[in-house]
Amino acid sequence: MTDFPQNSTIADVIRHRRTIDNFRPERPPREAILAAIDLARWAPNHKQTEPWRFHLIGEETAREIVRLNTELVRQQKGDTAAEAKQNRWSAVPGWLAITCDVSDDPIRAEEDYAACCCAAQNLALALWSEGIGLKWTTGPVTRLEEFSHLLGIDLGARKIIGLFWYGYPASISNSRRKPVEEIVEEHV
């Protein structure tokens, strides 16, 4: 178990949120996830397209995703790596995916993707403020057609933004950012 940072202000939540991939076993309540999605959807979205969909993944489907990923790793890296991956992924308590409307218009597609990423970060911050950690993954399994089939996603209509793990953190890793002076450019 980990000491969860006290998040009293929005600045604290933004600064202290970390990607979590080591979880305590219990799954956070569905109401907490729905409350975070309720906040996530207030992300900016050009032309009010609300292009996001949040796919809540149940235990049965999560097991299938683990199986799919295990086989993928087995093909690429062999049995030992596959078994290690299976053990790690099987310990993840909560699963969801975010998808975005597909558009033929490249500008709209880019804006909608950006809006979905804003929604994903809102989700992460909303969960973090309730003591729930998230990991956003775009790993190879999410690009398999079978992954979309498992979730009933039509790739002609929806783009996968990511697969998200959630749960109560068992540990929190450090992360670093470049100094502000390195990322700011002044223009007169």
Ligand X SMILES: Cc1cc2nc3c(=O)[nH]c(=O)nc-3n(C[C@H](O)[C@H](O)[C@H](O)COP(=O)(O)O)c2cc1C
User: Residue 139 CB, nearest distance to ligand X (Å)?
Assistant: 4
Task: Give the nearer residue to ligand X in terms of CB position, either 37 or 141.
Answer: 141
The binder of ligand X chosen from 46, 79, 139, 154 (CB under 6 A):
139
Task: Give the nearer residue to ligand X in terms of CB position, either 9 or 175.
Answer: 175
Asked whether position 4 contacts ligand X by CB under 6 A, the answer is no
Q: Return all residues near 162 (Cβ < 8 A) that are at least 6 apart.
A: 97, 98, 120, 136, 137, 138, 142
User: Residue 18 CB, nearest distance to ligand X (Å)?
Assistant: 4
Q: Residue 18: phi, psi to the nearest 5? A: -130, 155
Separation CA 188–CA 174 (nearest Å)? 36
Asked whether position 76 contacts ligand X by CB under 6 A, the answer is no
Asked whether position 2 contacts ligand X by CB under 6 A, the answer is no
Asked whether position 85 contacts ligand X by CB under 6 A, the answer is no
Asked whether position 29 contacts ligand X by CB under 6 A, the answer is no
The binder of ligand X chosen from 137, 144, 148, 159 (CB under 6 A):
137
Task: Give the nearer residue to ligand X in terms of CB position, either 33 or 161.
Answer: 161
Separation CA 80–CA 155 (nearest Å)? 32
Asked whether position 22 contacts ligand X by CB under 6 A, the answer is no
Asked whether position 140 contacts ligand X by CB under 6 A, the answer is no
The token pair at 82 is 């596959």
Number of residues that bind ligand X (CB under 6 A): 8
Residues contributing to the site for ligand X (CB under 6 A): 18-19, 136-139, 162, 175
